[in-house]
Amino acid sequence: METQEIADVVSSLRETFDGGHTRSLKWRMGQLRALERMVNENSADIIQALQADLGKPSFEAWAAEIGVALRDVKEMMKHVSGWMRTERVGAPLIVQPGKGEIYKDPLGVVLIISAWNYPFNLVIAPMLGAIAAGNAVVVKPSEVASHTSAIIAKLMGDYLDTEAIRVVEGGVPETTALLEQRFDHILYTGNGTVGRIVMAAAAKHLTPVTLELGGKSPCYVNRTADLETTCRRIAWGKFTNAGQTCIAPDYILVDESIHDRFIEQMVATIRQFYGENPQEGQRICRIINERHHDRLMALMDSGDAAVGGVGDREDRYIAPTVLTNVDPSSPAMSDEIFGPILPVLKVSGVDAAISFVNGRPKPLALYIFTSDDHVSKELLGRTSSGGATVNHTMLHFAVSDLPFGGVGESGMGAYHGRASFDTFTHRKSVLRKPFMIDPSIMYPPYDESKEKWLKRLM
Ligand code: NAD
Q: Note the pLDDT tens digit of each residue in 220-255.
A: 999 999 999 999 999 999 999 999 999 999 999 999
β-partners of residue 210 are 187
378 is catalytic: no
* Pick from 452, 439, 416: nearest CA to 132: 416
Which residues of the chain are in CATH 3.40.309.10 domains? Answer: 218-405
Kindly give the distance from the C-alpha atom of residue 194 to the centroid of ligand 1, in angstroms, as a whole number. Answer: 7
Helices 121-132, 25-54: inter-axial angle, 10-degree rounding:
170
From the list 36, 60, 65, 246, the catalytic residue is 246
Q: What is the DSSP letter of 64?
A: I
CB 431 within 8 A of CB 98: yes
Q: Is the dihedral of CA 126, 127, 131, 134 positive or negative?
A: positive
Q: What is the pLDDT of residue 456?
A: 85
Longest dimension (CA), the chain: 89
Indicate if the pLDDT at residue 266 is higher than 80.
Answer: yes
Instruction: Give the model's confidence band at 440: pLDDT under 50 very low, under 70 low, under 90 confident, else very high.
Output: confident
Q: What is the mean pLDDT of residues 40-49?
A: 97
Fold of 3-213+408-430: Aldehyde Dehydrogenase; Chain A, domain 1 (3.40.605)
Check pocket membership of 230 for ligand 1, CB cut-off 6 A: no
Name residues whose C-beta falls within 8 Å of residue 419's C-beta, 6 or more positions apart in sequence: 129, 403, 404, 405
Residue 458 to residue 437: CA distance in whole angstroms: 18
* Pick from 348, 373, 336: nearest CA to 250: 336
CB 287 within 8 A of CB 296: yes
212 is catalytic: yes
Check pocket membership of 190 for ligand 1, CB cut-off 6 A: yes
More confident: 393 or 440: 393
From the list 60, 65, 75, 212, the catalytic residue is 212
Q: What percent of the chain has pLDDT over 90?
A: 94
Q: What is the pLDDT of residue 327?
A: 96
Q: What is the pLDDT of residue 399?
A: 94
Check pocket membership of 173 for ligand 1, CB cut-off 6 A: no
* 3-class secondary-structure state, position 248: coil
- C-alpha gyration radius of the chain: 25
More confident: 19 or 93: 19
- The rounded mean pLDDT for the chain is 97
Indicate if the pLDDT at residue 127 is higher than 90.
Answer: yes
Say which amino acid occupies 255: D
Fold of 218-405: Aldehyde Dehydrogenase; Chain A, domain 2 (3.40.309)
Best residue among 116, 176, 197 to mutate for probing ligand 1, ranked by most atoms within 8 Å of CB: 116
Kindly give the distance from the C-alpha atom of residue 188 to the centroid of ligand 1, in angstroms, as a whole number. Answer: 8
Check pocket membership of 412 for ligand 1, CB cut-off 6 A: no
Kindly give the distance from the C-alpha atom of residue 446 to the centroid of ligand 1, in angstroms, as a whole number. Answer: 60
Residue 351 to residue 358: CA distance in whole angstroms: 10
- pLDDT 10s digits, 303-345: 999 999 999 999 999 999 999 999 999 999 999 999 999 999 9
Q: What percent of the chain has pLDDT over 70?
A: 100
